[in-house]
């Protein structure tokens, strides 16, 4: 997979001050339309308002594409926000997780206490016995934010259990952590 292609800056459809840079394998759609489509996917996956929280209309983004032209990653100037999987769902980077903290509590959150905080921060998985609270809408396979009981983001990852399982079980992996804030 190569990112060797021309970059094109195109104004966002919602605001003239936003640009989306297109890097990768061509394709027929414009970067501005792609950002709108990615906002829609974010709203569907993470809840209403997530699209504009992840991809504000007043910010520039770089869309990195596969050689076939499909959006693969979305970056800001300095970091990766999300990757876009072939299944049509996002996997979060820590920067994307920080942005989703702006959504109302408990959206997409798994809360842990002081006992597991240093391990999760370093990218270790979250086990059910250390989960204090969880968004009741979380299902296995969902992208989640792992936060400290004081609200600080510790990691992003994939839920391995349902919300009920996370609070009911005394053993087992609750969240497969992809990236901790101190990784």
CA 15 – CA 145 distance, rounded (Å): 29
> Which CATH number does the domain housing residue 127 bear?
2.30.130.10
The band of 19, judged by pLDDT with boundaries at 50, 70 and 90, is low
Q: Is the pLDDT of residue 15 over 80?
A: no
Distances (CA, A) of 93 to 7, 43, 144: 22, 17, 11
The answer to whether 165 and 139 have CB atoms below 8 angstroms apart is: no
Residue 114: give the domain boundaries.
104-180
My answer on whether 83 and 140 are in the same domain is: no
User: Model confidence over 137-152: pLDDT tens digits?
Assistant: 999 999 999 999 999 9
My answer on whether 80 and 139 are in the same domain is: no
Q: What is the pTM of this model?
A: 0.85
Q: Parallel, antiparallel, or unpaired for β 109-112 and 126-127? A: unpaired
pLDDT of residue 11: 40
**68 within domain boundaries:** yes
> Which CATH number does the domain housing residue 78 bear?
3.10.450.90
My answer on whether 87 and 125 are in the same domain is: no
């Amino acid at each position: 997979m190569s990112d060797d292609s021309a970059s094109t800056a195109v104004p966002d459809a919602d605001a003239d001050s936003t640009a989306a840079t297109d890097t990768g394998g061509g394709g027929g759609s414009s970067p501005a339309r792609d950002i709108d489509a990615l906002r829609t996917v974010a709203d569907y996956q993470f809840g209403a308002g997530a699209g504009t929280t992840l991809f504000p209309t007043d910010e520039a983004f770089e869309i990195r594409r596969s050689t076939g032209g499909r959006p693969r990653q979305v970056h800001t100037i300095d970091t990766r926000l999300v990757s876009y999987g072939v299944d049509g769902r996002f996997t979060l980077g820590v920067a994307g997780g920080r942005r989703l903290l702006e959504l109302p509590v408990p959206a997409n959150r798994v809360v842990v206490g002081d006992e597991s905080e240093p391990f999760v921060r370093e990218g270790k998985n979250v086990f059910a016995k250390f989960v204090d609270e969880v968004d009741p809408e979380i299902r296995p396979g969902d992208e989640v934010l792992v936060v400290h009981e004081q609200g600080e983001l510790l990691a992003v990852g994939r839920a391995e259990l349902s919300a009920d399982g996370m609070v009911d079980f005394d053993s087992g992996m609750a969240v497969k952590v992809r990236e901790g804030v101190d990784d």
